[in-house]
Structure 1
Amino acid sequence: MQLMQGYRERKDRERRTIQDRYAILGFISSGTYGKVYKARPRDAPGAAVAIKKFKPDRDGEASYTGISQSACREIMLNREIGHENLTALQEVMLQDKAIYLVFEYCEHDFLQIIHHHSQTRSAIPEPTLKALLFQLLNGLAYLHANWIVHRDLKPANILVTERGVVKIGDLGLARSFHSPIQSLYASDKVVVTIWYRAPELLLGARHYSPAIDVWSVGCILGELLCLRPIFKGDEAKPEPHHASKKPPPPASRSRKTSSPRSSTSSERPPVEPLSLTTYRHRRDTDAVGRVEEEEWPSIVHLPEYAHMARFDK
């Protein structure tokens, strides 16, 4: 036991830290996962990198060294893929119960480009717009061809190098899938920022496909054209469980006895309780109507059709 402990202590002393290998040049951004810094390797001063520091899963507990699910996914997927339009993971380091992911550095992102042209009130040139969109779709096609759905495409996650190369980044919410009709929603976090969230996710669909990424790309394209979000909205705030409505004030006695017909006319037949799924389906059907097989024969091939067909018309 003492021999093993001595070996570990010697390896810890020999292991180079982040500060030994990289010179931190500045702070880039922060989020729920941690922080991102711009740095430069000390042995190669010419190439800048971006270092993403993940906080421990239970930050503040001295005896816990857990790794967040987001960090595990990002490490796993970045180790398996490689494409010119995806950010390249160069190194993974563990230090002081925090994980550091070292990526290639990109000077800009789509959000900065949108803000720049919005402030100067100048539209993005059409050739530039086409080049940005082509590279974005090229990287996304690679992900989908390798059975990976990104699930969090937004302008801030689409990076651009100083040479104009588009890089899709932040695979923390991405995941692999094996079939487009496989359920990917259960026991998972809410995916995609609401401004770029596909309708099936807004309606609470349990089955979804890589098409949700294509919807996000369409929203990003609209924002590049209009220089503002095209579907800007706020997250719905659920009511707390303990909140209850106050009972209505009792009717006056004079109103009860004034007309014998009033008491019977106010009585309503009992309402049949509905499940939340049935209620949502009926509400959506009332709003957009029902599509029959005669009008749309191929509807029977949609993943949700068999489930929706069980509802009463």
Structure 2
Amino acid sequence: MTDIAATPLLKATKLSKVYRIGRSLLPSRRQQVHAVNEVSLEVMPGETLGIVGESGCGKSSLGRCLMRLQDITSGQLEFDGRDITHLSPRRIRPLRREMQMVFQDPAASLNARRRVGDLLAEPYRIHGIGSGSDIDDRVSELLRRVGLRPEHALRFPHEFSGGQKQRIGIARALALNPRLLVADEPVSALDVSIQAQIINLLADLREELGLTYIFVAHDLAVVRQISNRVAVMYLGAIVEIGDADDVFSRPRHPYTRVLRDAMPRPSLYPPRRARTGIAGDLPSPFALPSGCPYRTRCAFAQPKCAAERPALTTGADGRGVACHFPLRDEVTADP
């Protein structure tokens, strides 16, 4: 594993993203959706931070905000010590060399009308890197690096399988030698066997190139396999963050334990204890509950949970938990 430095490569402080929904010309009369709600986190060079949660919890919106693909409503975002919260598109363009994204749907992220070689050459042309045969050589090397052949540059995206398309998306993200890669559900649209190949490819690239990953996914088993640390999101906020093995084996937030218990388990291993279920549906993002956003579905909710929103408090062991009544450490490692 790559050594992790002490200075964050990416730092978010109380980051929020609010969408206004409706047809009124006056923004104040539109409904507000708090997709990301005062998220604070740090990503160290060389590590992989996994972000997990249910669909609609805001993890993809957070990933796009961290990449500055969406404007940030409030808070602060720093990359390598530089404040990039409100940089204009022109000023942030040079930083695109250092921070890239792999998207969830590989087919939708590739222009079906252009050959793969043109798609991979585009980053070099936009940033004025190389020309002619030099770019062709770079494209061939990119294809080899992700397990494809140089002659694949002459094909169109529809001629590839889903796994191959995602390899092309990864190759395009690597073109400019970035330091940070944000992967937004990169394997959710793929078969299980292909998922393993892509995860192994990303792990090999991390070791080979010294990359830093933010890995967004709803599959906890996948996140646990590749991540150093894990942040669990619920309704736009982080409710628990810490070392991946500790979070999964000793969850301290009730929601984290529910997600962990929902992970598939081989039938030959009987459950060590009764699994905890989750009650009710996800609350409407237009009308968040008072106090703790998880209290309406939590089996341990108390009056204090409705009156006061718990802050994400970090303990001496580095584990952050946003809960008034965190769970005790209960080791439930896999056999």
TM-score w.r.t. length of structure 2? 0.24
More strand by share: 2
> Which structure dedicates a bigger proportion of its chain to helix?
1
**What is the TM-score when the length of structure 1 is the normalising length?**
0.25
Larger Rg: 1
